[in-house]
Amino acid sequence: MSDQGVSLLLRQEERGKSYPLWIERLLMATFLVSLVFIPSQILERVDGGIGLATAWCLYPIVAVSVIELIGRFIQSR
């Protein structure tokens, strides 16, 4: 049995368009650079534990989620 073009359910699969992975890598690099600058700005505007939690917990989670959503949007096109 050849495994080329056949899925686990024995369906014929066609090769789709290639995914531009460089776009997602560029977005991730931008996120890593912004991780240096954005939390300090958040800490200047929001005091106390809420600012600390927002800068170092909430911001990275939201940023990675947005990057993932952009990647999935690009992949669906």
Average pLDDT over residues 23-28: 89
Q: What does the domain layout of the chain look like in residue ranges?
A: 21-76
Using left for φ > 0, alpha for ψ between -120 and 50, and beta otherwise, residue 7 falls in beta
Backbone angles phi, psi at 17, to 5 degrees: -70, 150
pLDDT at residue number 6:
67
Is residue 13 a contact partner of residue 7, using CB atoms and an 8 Å limit?
yes
Reported pTM: 0.69
Q: Which residues contact 51 (CB under 8 A, 6 or more apart)?
A: 42, 43, 45
Per residue in 46-76, pLDDT tens? 989 999 999 999 999 999 999 999 988 888 8
